[in-house]
Structure 1
Amino acid sequence: MARKKKKAPFSPAVMLMIALVILLLGAFGIQVPNNIQELVGLRQEQAQTHTPKKPSNSANPGPKELGAASFTNDELKNSAKGWIDYHPLDSLGRATGADALLKPDMVNTGTSANQDIRPPGFISGEANHSRGHLIGRQMGGTGDDARNLTTLYQNPVNTPFMTKYENQIRKALDTGETIRYRVTPIYEGNELLCKQINMEAKGLDRNSSINFNVTILNEE
């Protein structure tokens, strides 16, 4: 049976005080025992390891994972060829969603966002606005169809939050998997920018690690 790691007996606040004392004593040439220095260093390393990285100056809480994808058995039917279905624009011209059956041969067949397309709510010159793909370019999503573009905050929504899950799918595709995928922007009333965006994906291979349902607030 694996041995449990021994926890340091001091709280983070106490450890910080000890670290400051060590620095102060060092300034006066007083040697601090190595075991105490190692203990402080260990706790600092653990704190860095378990602290999630968030973009600087971001108030966005990050992705909220809702468990497994919610596709029905009928929606998970496989086919020889992959496909992408862009849902119709709504009465305000907003993208409403996209479904896809992703195959390895679709990787990197998409296109960058067309600069002539301005999704509802997109402000030219707004440094943090992006024409966000629903189905990403690296998975075959087009940037020339307004049905696949919605206004997102580039940082942290488009990247790194959405990119994190898109990269998981890309990795699975690179190993030959087939992935059922759906992305849905969710709006509040007549707001032009979506309030949040929902991403669902499930690998059709028996041993696939892809099975998630996540929602990301469209906020800075």
Structure 2
Amino acid sequence: MNVRNVYLKRILTLMIAVLTALSLAGTDPATVSAASGVAAPTKVKATNLYTGVRLTWKKPTKDTTFRVYVKTGGKYKKAGTASANKFVYKKAKSGKTYTFRIRAYRKGSRSGYSRTVTKRFVRSLANMEYKGKGYAVLHGNKPNFSDAQVTRARNAYITFGKLDDRGRCTAVTASVSSETLPREERGDISSVHPTGWVSGQGWQRCHLLAFSLGGGNANPRNLITGSAQLNVSGGMWIFEEQVLNYVRQTGNHVLYRVTPVFKGKEPVARGVHMEARSVENAGLQYNVYVFNVMDGYKIDYSTGIVRAKNAAAEENPGGSSHSNAKRTYILNENTKKFHYPSCSAVKRMKPSNRKKVKTSRKSLIQKGYDPCKICEP
């Protein structure tokens, strides 16, 4: 009996060890190479995107596929598969914390689990990826205004948000109408230095509420540091013109809100959230996010420093032409200012004062012309 008991005890000890190992393999994802020789993924990282949590890792070998597992406090569940060393978990809900682990598969064999990575998902426009288009449409292009806000917008008003504790602009909300449109000439705004402003980096002073809609001139609560793509060519101007044209054509009101989107404590906005809705009818509405980017350049949003990604881009900082390069400009022979053809000021210019030329920036300055403060050519 004693021999039998010893034998049973050894078997029991072995079974406990096996069960413990299996349990640890299921819950403790320390990197393990399976007996098959397939190495587990390493250097797993998780970052928040607007659409979900992005996972990246070091791919151990060629011809490998991966399975991603996720849990939110209970058991791990399969989140999906990937053929490359990245995966976006799009079922994440803002405010929830997720733990991930990954397993590699190759030719019928599999690795152990990678080490776990945990991430609290927060859905933020600041995390939206720029993929070459200047703006992204949000929520089916429907703005997030309440019925009470729409009702109030039957009367014209403009509200500039207070600067936050870091001196950054906050949202500007307005009921744009013929009453808010400017009746004076565009003034000098160079005295305002928005957060993140660094001279010589191709930055522009971007109005949240456009001057053409009633945004005024040198208002620190209405100017942010932005690129030419954000301000003119990439998106804001497109949507500002929609509002302006609608108001001029109908005489109606447009409820309008522009919110700068900052990431953490960064002084330079990642982009702006623009919303608009016509009040008296359904003639106009949009809900878009416009990226504050410069193609060919890498922006350090924490400092305002801009660096070229390649030598060719160095010739064209911030999207502005080299001073000796010839291009098309519009001159205002009355104010002695020159503009890009896409500048909003061009449409307000009297035909008798307007002249189209193809020349260099340097040549115009030598002739006594000053660059426009809106498009900053």
TM-score range, shorter chain: 0.5 to 0.7
Q: Which has the higher strand share?
A: 2
**8 Å CA contact 1:134, 1:141 repeated in 2:** yes
- CA-to-partner distance for each residue in 1:188-220, whole Å, 9 max, x for gaps? 111110011100000012241x11100011111
Structure 1 unpaired stretches of 5+ = 1-57
Change (3 A) 1:80 1:212: closer
1:157 aligns with 2:157: no
1:121 aligns with 2:196: yes
1:64 matched residue in structure 2: 136
Change (3 A) 1:69 1:76: same
1:188 matched residue in structure 2: 263
Identity of aligned residues (%): 26
Aligned-residue offset at 1:63: 0.9
**8 Å CA contact 1:113, 1:142 repeated in 2:** no
2:287 matched residue in structure 1: 213
Change (3 A) 1:65 1:109: farther
The residue type paired with residue 212 of structure 1 is Y
1:99 aligns with 2:99: no
- With structure 2 as the length reference, what TM-score do the two structures score? 0.40
Superposed CA RMSD: 1.9
1:200 matched residue in structure 2: 275
For the residues of structure 2 that align with 1:92 and 1:120, how far apart are their CA atoms?
8
2:18 matched residue in structure 1: none
Aligned-residue offset at 1:78: 4.0
Structure 2 unpaired stretches of 5+ = 1-129, 295-377
Equivalent position SS for 2:179: helix
The residue type paired with residue 213 of structure 1 is N
**8 Å CA contact 1:63, 1:214 repeated in 2:** yes
The residue type paired with residue 162 of structure 2 is P
1:89 aligns with 2:155: no
**8 Å CA contact 1:183, 1:199 repeated in 2:** yes
- With structure 1 as the length reference, what TM-score do the two structures score? 0.68
Aligned-residue offset at 1:82: 1.3
Aligned-residue offset at 1:144: 2.0
**What count of residue pairs does the alignment treat as equivalent?**
160
User: Which of 103, 122, 146 is the equivalent residue of 2:220?
Assistant: 146
Q: Which has the higher contact order (CA 8 A, sep 6+)?
A: 1
Aligned-residue offset at 1:143: 2.3
**8 Å CA contact 1:109, 1:137 repeated in 2:** no
**8 Å CA contact 1:201, 1:211 repeated in 2:** yes
- CA-to-partner distance for each residue in 1:149-191, whole Å, 9 max, x for gaps? 111112x110121100000001101011210000000101111
Change (3 A) 1:80 1:74: closer
User: Which of 224, 234, 242 is the equivalent residue of 1:168?
Assistant: 242
Equivalent position SS for 1:173: helix
Q: Which has the higher helix share?
A: 1
1:48 matched residue in structure 2: none
1:7 matched residue in structure 2: none
**8 Å CA contact 1:113, 1:131 repeated in 2:** no
1:74 matched residue in structure 2: 148
